[in-house]
Amino acid sequence: MDQIQIFDTTLRDGEQSPGVNLSTEEKIEIALQLERLGIDIIEAGFAAASPGDLYSIQQIANRLKEVSVCSLSRCVKSDIDKAWEALREAAYPRLHIFISTSPIHREYKLRMSKEQILESVDEMVRYGKSRFPIVQFSAEDAGRTEIDYLCAVVDQAIRAGADVINIPDTVGYLYPDEYAEIFIQLQKRVPNIDRVILSAHCHDDLGMAVVNSLAAVRTGVRQIEGTINGIGERAGNAALEEVIMAIKTREDFFQKKTSIRHSEIARTSRLVSKFTGMFVQKNKAIVGDNAFAHESGIHQDGMLKNKETYEIMTPETVGMDESLLVLGKHSGRHAFKKRLEELGYPQSDEQINVLFTRFKELADRKKEITEEDIIALVEEKIGEGKEFYTLESVQISYGSHSVPTASLRVRDHSSDQLLEEAACGNGSVDAIFKTVDRMIDEKVELIDFKIHSVTHGKDALGEVSVQLEQEEIQVRGRGVSTDILEACARAYLDAINRLLRRKERKTVGCAN
Ligand SMILES: CC(=O)SCCNC(=O)CCNC(=O)[C@H](O)C(C)(C)COP(=O)(O)OP(=O)(O)OC[C@H]1O[C@@H](n2cnc3c(N)ncnc32)[C@H](O)[C@@H]1OP(=O)(O)O
Ligand SMILES: CC(C)C(=O)C(=O)O
C-alpha cells in the first residue's frame, strides 16, 4: 500500500495564528513530540523572519535525528542563506521555497509579471538546490492560478531541480473536485511530474481544508501538509489528526497508509493547545472532549450493547481516554443503571424507575449531571421504604418587608389525595416546615438542621439534612435539589416518612 508523507507546519503556519508566539523551548518540546508522533517532515519556522526564528530552527534541527527539518523561504537569496544557516547541521535538511502565482498576487502583491516569476523560480530553486539536498517548491495561491500558467511554473521548478511540488489552496477557496482537478491536470500535462513528490496544503476558510487534502490523496498526491488541531493563519490549516485518522479509518477507501503512531495524537494535541493557548473546541473531531462522549439514551444503549454502533474508531487508538457515557437530560435507563452499578449502587428495576424519575427532573434543571449529583440522589433514596408523603411542589413568597409565606402541595399516599397548605414563618425555611406541620398531624420538634452544597458551580446541588424528634424517637431526613428551599421541603418530608415507618414497624412489633 502506498505511503503518504505527513508534513507538519504547526511551528510555522500554525504559529502564524494571531496571538500565538512560541518560545524556543516550547518549539523544541513540540518538535520532539511531533517526532514521537511519527511526522515525516517538520517545518520548524521561517529562518528569515527573525533571529529568534532562525535560532529555534537551528536548535530543533540539532535535536531531531529521525525526521526531516525544514525552513520556509521566499524566492529571495538572503532568505535561502538564512535557511541554510539554520539547517546546515540537520540530519535531513529541507528548503521550502515559495512564490505567488495567482493573478491577484502577481499584480497587487508582488507586482511581477508572469515571466519575472518564472525567472525567479528558476534562479532561486537552482540556488536552493546548490545548498540543500531536498528543495520543496510551493506556488502560493495556486488554487486561484490559471491552470496553464500553473503548469508552466511547476515545469520550471522541476527543471530547476525541485524535489517536491506543493500546491497550496492558500485562501481556502476551492471545492474538493476543483482541487483534485488541479493535481489531475498537473499529472497529465507537466513533463517529468512523476520524478517529484506532489504535496497538498489546504486552508480552512470555508471549512474544507481536511476534505480538500483527502481529495488530493485520491489523485495520487504523496505528501499532505497541515497543523495539529488545525491551527494557523485566519481559519487555520488542515487538521493533521483528522487527515491521518481519515486515512487510517477509511483505509478501505483510500488504500494508503502513513507512518504515524496514532496513539500519540491526543498527547500532541494537548501539548500544542497548552503552549499556543488555543483551546480545542469540545466537539472537535478526534481530539475534542466530546469526540468519544455519548449523551443520548438511544446512543448510550447502543454503546452498551456494541461500541461500534456509534464509534468508528476507538478513543484508545488516538490516545484519548475511554468512551464516556455522559448522563444528561437525553439519557435513558440503561446508561443510568450502568452508572449506578459503576458507582457501587446496584439497584432493582423498581428502584431504578423511582431514581430515574428524580434524575430526569434534576437533568431538566441542571446543565451537567456529575457523579456527585447521582450519589446524592441515590443516598437520598437509600434506606427508603414506603413513602407516606411526597412533595409535589413548593412556592415561596418572600420580600425584605413582608412575612415569608410557603405554599406546598404534597401527595398523601395513604388516601391518594393531594394536600395543599400554606403558612407564614420567621424565614422561608421556617415557613416551609410550619406548612408541613400544619398539613400532617404529627407533633415533631426540629433538633438539627444543616445545609451544604454537594456539587460545584452555579447550578450545584444543595443538600439539606434535618433531625426531628417525637417523644423518644429521633429521625434524620435528607433532601437534595438545585433549589435549596425545595431541598428543605424534601428533607423535612423525608424525616416525617422515616418517623412514620418507624412507628408503623413498632406497631406491628418489628425490631427497629
Ligand atoms: C501563505 C504564507 O503563509 S506565506 C508566509 C507568511 N509568513 C510570514 O510572512 C512570516 C514571516 N515574515 C516576516 O517576518 C516578514 O514578512 C519578512 C521578514 C519575511 C519580510 O519582511 P519585510 O522585508 O519587512 O517585508 P514585508 O513583509 O513588509 O513585505 C513582503 C515583501 O516580500 C515580497 N514577497 C512576498 N512573498 C515573496 C516571495 N515568495 N518571494 C519573493 N518576494 C516575496 C513582497 O512582495 C514584499 O516585497 P516589497 O517589500 O518589495 O513590496
Ligand atoms: C507558503 C505556502 C506553502 C503557504 O503557507 C500557503 O500558501 O498557504
Quick one: DSSP state of residue 167? E
Helices (H), 250-332: 251-254, 265-276, 297-305
What ipTM was reported for this prediction?
A: 0.98
95 forms beta bridges with 71, 135
Query: So what's the pLDDT on residue 167?
Result: 98
Ligand 2 neighbourhood includes 98 CB (under 6 angstroms): yes
The predicted structure's pLDDT at residue 420: 96
Distance 174 CA to ligand 2 centre (A): 15
Q: What is the pLDDT of residues 168-185, one digit of tens each?
A: 999 999 999 999 999 999
Query: Given pLDDT bands bounded at 50, 70 and 90, which one contains residue 400?
Result: confident
Instruction: Classify 415 as helix, strand or coil.
Output: coil
Q: pTM here?
A: 0.81
- To which residue does cell 440503561 refer? 334
336 Cβ neighbours under 8 A, 6+ residues apart: 327, 352, 355, 356, 359
Segment among 272-281, 331-340, 357-366 with least mean pLDDT = 357-366
Residue 512 pLDDT > 70: no
CB 299 within 8 A of CB 310: yes
Q: Which ligand is nearest to the CA of 199?
A: 2
Distance 263 CA to ligand 2 centre (A): 29
Q: Nearest bound ligand to CA 74?
A: 1
CA-closest candidate to residue 149, choices 208, 210, 107, 195:
107
Contact 179, 215 (CB under 8 A): yes
What is the length of the chain?
512
* 166 CB within 6 A, ligand 2: yes
Residue nearest atom 6 in ligand 2 by C-alpha distance: 170
262 has binding-site annotation? no
The alpha carbon of 17 and the centre of ligand 1 are apart by a number of angstroms equal to: 16
Pocket mutation for ligand 1, best pick of 15, 109, 127, 204 (most atoms within 8 Å of C-beta): 109
Q: Compute φ and ψ for 69, nearest 5 degrees.
A: -115, 140
Domains and CATH numbers, the chain: 2-276 (3.20.20.70), 293-381 (no CATH), 389-507 (3.30.160.270)
Mean pLDDT, to the nearest integer, of 185-206? 98
| Residue of 108, 110, 138 to test ligand 1 pocket, by largest number of atoms within 8 Å of CB | 110
Q: Could you tell me the distance, in angstroms and rounded to a whole number, from the CA of residue 257 to the centre of ligand 2?
A: 24
pLDDT digits (tens, 9 = 90+) for 66-103: 999 999 999 999 999 999 999 999 999 999 999 999 99
Which pLDDT belongs to residue 510? 43
Q: Identify the band that residue 213 occupies on the pLDDT scale cut at 50, 70 and 90.
A: very high
3-state secondary structure of 257: strand
CA–centroid distance, residue 13 to ligand 2 (Å): 8
Q: What percent of the chain has pLDDT over 90?
A: 82
